[in-house]
Amino acid sequence: MGLRILAVDDSRTIRDLLAATLSAAGMDVTLAEDGVEGLEMLRRMGRPDAILSDINMPRLDGFGFIHAVREIDPMRAVPILVLTTESAPELKTRAREAGATGWIVKPFDPERLVHSIRKVTG
C-alpha cells in the first residue's frame, strides 16, 4: 500500500485532480471539503503520512484546521502541505506558525506535487 494522504479543499475540481494525481502515483487518498470534515476524516482514518490543505474554506479555514491538527498528539509530526492560490508572504508565515510544513501554489504541477509529498514523508 502506498502513502496515505488526507487532502482538504472546498473545490470539487481540485479534490478530483488531487485524487487522480495522487492515486496514479500509488497513494491512498482520503478527501474532505473543509477543515471540519478534515478533522472528522482524521478521526476515522487515523494518522496519515501527509496532509494537503487549502487555506480559504468554509466552516474551518486552513489556518484553523492546521492548528487543530497540531493539537492532536499523534498528528504533531505529520507533514502538512498548504495547497492554495494565495502567495502572500504574510500568509505563508501565518501557515508556518500554525504548523504547516510547506506551501504549494495552485494550479499545481502534478509531478512536483508528488515529489513534494515524497520529500516530506521521507
pTM of the prediction? 0.95
Structural domain including 15 reads: 4-121
Q: How far apart are CA 18 and CA 108, in angstroms?
A: 9
Q: Which residue type sits at 7?
A: A
Phi and psi dihedrals of 54, rounded to 5? -75, 170
pLDDT digits over 23-70, tens only? 999 999 999 999 999 999 999 999 999 999 999 999 999 999 999 999
Domain count, the chain: 1
Give the CATH number, domain containing residue 109: 3.40.50.2300
Q: DSSP readout, 81-120?
A: EEEES---HHHHHHHHHHT--EEEESSPPHHHHHHHHHHH
- Assigned C-alpha cell, 112: 512536483
pLDDT of residue 117: 97
pLDDT of residue 87: 84
pLDDT digits over 65-113, tens only? 999 999 999 999 999 999 989 889 999 999 999 999 999 999 899 999 9
- Assigned C-alpha cell, 39: 478533522
pLDDT of residue 1: 62
